Structure formats: C-alpha cells, structure tokens
Amino acid sequence: MVDLTEEERAAVTTTMKRVALLMDEIGWATPLSDLTEAQVRALIEEAVEGFRESMSDIARAQTPEVPF
C-alpha cells in the first residue's frame, strides 16, 4: 500500500469524479470484460490526466505569488 499525501488523496477524489462521469457514459452495469479497448484506454487516460491536472492545481494554489 502506498502512503498518499493529503494532496494526493484530494487529487484522487477529484479524479474519481472525472472517471465517474465517463463511467456514466459507458454504463455502470457494463462488466469490465465487455469494455472495448477504446473504453479502457479512455478510462486510463481520464484517470491519469485527471490526477495530473488536480495535482497541478493543488501545487499552483499552494505556491506563493511572485510579488513582481
């Protein structure tokens, strides 16, 4: 098990919401074995991109603004 930071946990929560929206389109009752390659790829890409964007937003919010 990985020890996530508070920021990483927040990013995972944000990412889950993005993945859930995609799952709404695919259908929650769809078995994983019935997903197409494109659907699996889309889920992975959404998860990776969502986490990356969320971590970037968190870092930006925590970085003090340059005064000049």
Give the count of beta carbons closer than 10 Å to the beta carbon of residue 49. Answer: 12
Burial class (CB within 10 angstroms; exposed 0-12, middle 13-18, buried 19+) of 45:
exposed
Domain boundaries in the chain?
6-61
Q: What is the pTM of this model?
A: 0.81
Q: Which of 15, 24, 8, 11 is nearest to 46 (CA)?
A: 15
Chain segment 9-55, per-residue pLDDT in tens? 999 999 999 999 999 999 999 999 999 999 999 999 999 999 999 99
